[in-house]
Homo-oligomer: A and B are copies of this chain.
């Protein structure tokens, strides 16, 4: 399998963790979002939408959208499950994942920040306040729901952790005060102690730049 990735893309980061956890043989092909390579002819010929991540299967078919890719990997590589067997518990894990994927991340991605700055002419301070606001809203909702340890759902890593860790990475990068979220910080520590998470960290990618 070939994953098209960018070291700082949260959505690609989720899939990198899953591929590592499930021991799926793969290679990483970097697409530089900052240089606009995702909109270049080479990448658009492969993925007309020009978004990351995209996963090219061995038969040449291309999967897009991290949530769809993760559900695919979960169905096809069930040996190391990332969802609890109980459907109701699985729904809880998916609800946490979706809280991050649908209520935090979309508001803070690059194209939205560009629109705020370029079209609505917001100041840098307003942009940072916006960024922090949506993470705080999401983390305030998530923190009291996390009852177990060391991972979001307890003893086993689940999809929820794959969404949370990249989101915490972003929060830290934008210097968000994480002190109100001790449980989330503890999940961060526990996950990053695992080689599969560590290898997927942005700073450990071949395409990482300062």
Contact = CB atoms under 8 A, between A and B. Distances in A.
A46 interface: no
A106 B134 CA distance: 11
Contact of A102 (B48, B105, B137, B145): B105
Interface string A15-56: 000000000000000000000000000000000110000000
Nearest to A101: B102
Task: Give the one of A48, A91, A107, A145 with max B CB within 10 A.
Answer: A91
B95 A68 contact: yes
Copies in the complex: 2
Contact of A95 (B65, B126, B130, B137): B65
A48 B91 contact: no
Contact of A72 (B65, B67, B87, B141): B87
A87 B75 contact: yes
B144 A115 contact: no
A113 interface: no
For the complex, would chain A's binding face be called helix, strand, loop or mixed by DSSP majority?
Answer: helix
Interface residues of A, number: 46
A75 B90 contact: yes
A72 B92 CA distance: 10
Contacts of A145: 49
26 contacts: A49-B141, A49-B145, A57-B88, A63-B88, A63-B92, A63-B95, A64-B95, A65-B94, A65-B95, A65-B98, A65-B99, A67-B67, A67-B94, A68-B91, A68-B94, A72-B88, A72-B90, A75-B90, A101-B102, A102-B102, A102-B105, A103-B106, A111-B137, A115-B130, A119-B126, A119-B129
